[in-house]
Amino acid sequence: MTESWVNSAERIGVDLHLELAGPGGRRAALTRALREAVRSGRLAPGTRLPPYRSLAADLGVARNTVADAYAELVAEGWLTARQGSGTRVATGMAHLGRPGKPEPRRAAVRTPVAAPPRARGPRHDLRQGSPDPSAFPRTAWSASYRRALQAAPSEAFGPGDPAGRWELREALAEYLARARGVRTEPGRIVVCSGFAHALRLLFGQGAGGVLRGPLGVEAYGLDFHRGLLATAGVRTVPLPLDEHGARVEALGRERAVLLTPAHQFPTGGPLHPERRAAVVDWARAQGAVVLEDDYDGEFRYDRRPVGALQGLDPERVIHLGSVSKSLSPALRLGWMVLPEHLVGPVIGAKGEREGWASALDQLALADFVRSGSYDRHVRRMRQRYRRRRDRLVAALAAQAPHVEVTGIAAGLHAVLRLPPGSERSVVKAAAWQGIALDGLGAFRHPETGMPPSDGLVIGYAAPAEHAYGAALDALCAVLPPE
């Protein structure tokens, strides 16, 4: 096989790669290669081709060879030539696979494995886990991004510090102290791409990981996190829950415990102050650490806000947060507030250079926080979600007053209690009606000794504002009668 390659001239706007192969002379090969490039769509309609001279130089062929090939393809209708605008790919013919003399093609790429994503999801999305995507503050974020990009020093576009941009770590230290009562300074913060990434950094890499199991977890929690930990070879030990949160007195020889102290996920409710103190005491006595998942610490409605557990002992508590609920899971930015002795190991686990979080996004978030846009957005969303929660409660009071709703003082979801044994059929009925939601059972640790409790976890953040009322009506319609 003879192979050769075409480079674009510097004067045209595209790079082009062709192969001159197969039977016949060079002119025939070039004609065939160009025709194939147009037919397959690799050369898009309207694309300007290189001038004869530069293509000829690139290919090491005579100028006339290129001119002849172009002329033949113009004659065939694949290309158009116009005075002053050079030779271009014809519009309207590309991708048509025009009949005539089809070239023998090399084995084509097989049929597509995935179609473009369809704009179809469930009719009503009441799953927990993400904020209202239509509420993303496009204008303010765009302004922060632009400002950050303009103000960035050149080194920001080079390899990144795995700890994260200092600008962001400073902004976060100030914000978390002010809004969440976190006690830290920028050198203790490591940027990551979200909560799951933080778990991977802490527990990944097997025996060489930063932390080791067994890890105490709440008896109800995200299945996704448990799966991630299981993959990393970390054994999780479920802690029972009651109305005061996780029963941390059940902790024994675990090496660490993962809690959602501000608002237990998914059952709701803050960890009782005595248990907050008790779990820190346990960690001190055992030489263990507490992982604080502050997943929706910013969204609280009725009760006094609960400060970060980390404030009780910055050397024993790892505080983990992200923008996934407060801004958007599309951004992939999170942070770990670390005890001093873990900063080095976590940075070591990240590697020599930043491999994950975009430095430009980090700078944009620093500006977004510093400029007050983050506070404004959180406050606006808090009002919006509170209204949604109130509408959920009102709809239930009106249409299903016998269904108890709990865990509503904070967060982006509520728990609806169901009669024993009914959860599965209600989830099924909901799916039948096009409602996406989760049963409480989906969050239950398989090894917990707690008796199963039937319920629904209703996320009220995801539906678009205009679609929320219909989603609530649909939900009430599938709830069991009294």
132-171 residues in contact with a second copy (CB under 8 A) are 133-134, 136, 138, 141-142, 145-146, 149-150, 152-161, 163, 166, 170
User: Out of 100, 112, 421, 449, which residue is the one contacting a second copy (CB under 8 A)?
Assistant: 112
Residue 413 Cβ vs a second copy, minimum distance, rounded to whole Å: 15
Residue 167 Cβ vs a second copy, minimum distance, rounded to whole Å: 9
User: Out of 84, 99, 100, 117, which residue is the one contacting a second copy (CB under 8 A)?
Assistant: 117
Query: Segment 89-108, which members bind a second copy (CB under 8 A)?
Result: 108
The answer to whether residue 438 forms part of the interface with a second copy (CB under 8 A) is no
Query: Segment 22-51, which members bind a second copy (CB under 8 A)?
Result: 37, 40-44
User: Out of 162, 266, 314, 411, which residue is the one contacting a second copy (CB under 8 A)?
Assistant: 314
Which residues have C-beta within 8 Å of that of residue 327, sequence separation ≥ 6? 131, 136, 137, 141, 374, 377
| 64 vs 142, beta carbon nearer a second copy | 142
Which two three-digit tokens encode residue 160?
């990144």
State phi, psi for 216 to the nearest 5 degrees: -75, 135
Convert residues 387-426 into a mask of x (bound to a second copy by CB under 8 A) and - (unbound). Answer: ----------------------------------------
What is the distance between the alpha carbons of residues 259 and 312, in angstroms, rounded to a whole number? 14
Q: Kindly state the helix (H) or strand (E) to which residue 439 belongs, with its residue range.
A: strand 438-439
Residue 299 Cβ vs a second copy, minimum distance, rounded to whole Å: 11
| 63 vs 417, beta carbon nearer a second copy | 63
In the block, residue with structure tokens 């504002």: 465
- Pick the piece of the chain touching a second copy (CB under 8 A) from 24-32, 76-84, 95-103, 375-383: 375-383
| 48 vs 417, beta carbon nearer a second copy | 48
The answer to whether residue 243 forms part of the interface with a second copy (CB under 8 A) is no
The answer to whether residue 307 forms part of the interface with a second copy (CB under 8 A) is yes
What is the distance between the alpha carbons of residues 8 and 29, in angstroms, rounded to a whole number? 17
- Pick the piece of the chain touching a second copy (CB under 8 A) from 179-187, 214-222, 437-445, 467-475: 179-187
Residue 109 Cβ vs a second copy, minimum distance, rounded to whole Å: 5
Query: How does DSSP assign 200-214, residue by residue?
Result: HHHH-SGGGSSS-S-
Cβ 408 vs Cβ 389: under 8 Å: yes
Residue 304 Cβ vs a second copy, minimum distance, rounded to whole Å: 5
Residue 425 Cβ vs a second copy, minimum distance, rounded to whole Å: 25
Q: Please state, in angstroms and as integers, the Cα–Cα distance from residue 343 to each residue in 56, 132, 210, 413, 482, following that order.
A: 58, 34, 10, 33, 54
What is the distance between the alpha carbons of residues 227 and 217, in angstroms, rounded to a whole number? 12
3-state secondary structure of 444: strand
Residue 11 Cβ vs a second copy, minimum distance, rounded to whole Å: 10
- Whether residue 137 has a cis bond before it, omega within 30° of 0: no
| 339 vs 480, beta carbon nearer a second copy | 339
User: Out of 88, 93, 130, 422, which residue is the one contacting a second copy (CB under 8 A)?
Assistant: 130
| 253 vs 304, beta carbon nearer a second copy | 304
Convert residues 338-357 into a mask of x (bound to a second copy by CB under 8 A) and - (unbound). Answer: --x--xx------xxxxxxx
Nearest to 305 by CA among 155, 409, 159: 409
Query: How does DSSP assign 296-362, residue by residue?
Result: TTT-B-SSPPPPPGGGG-TTTEEEEEESTTTT-TTS--EEEE--HHHHHHHHHHH-SS--SS-HHHH
Residue 422 Cβ vs a second copy, minimum distance, rounded to whole Å: 27
What is the distance between the alpha carbons of residues 49 and 16, in angstroms, rounded to a whole number? 9
Question: Strand 455-459's sheet: what is its strand order?
Answer: 405-406, 413-417, 455-459, 438-439
Cα 314 to chain center, whole Å? 28
Which residues have C-beta within 8 Å of that of residue 406, sequence separation ≥ 6? 267, 268, 269, 414, 415, 417
Residue 400 Cβ vs a second copy, minimum distance, rounded to whole Å: 28
Pick left, alpha or beta for residue 22 (phi over 0 → left; psi -120 to 50 → alpha; otherwise beta): left
The answer to whether residue 358 forms part of the interface with a second copy (CB under 8 A) is yes
| 262 vs 395, beta carbon nearer a second copy | 262
Query: Segment 247-306, which members bind a second copy (CB under 8 A)?
Result: 273, 277, 298, 300, 304-306
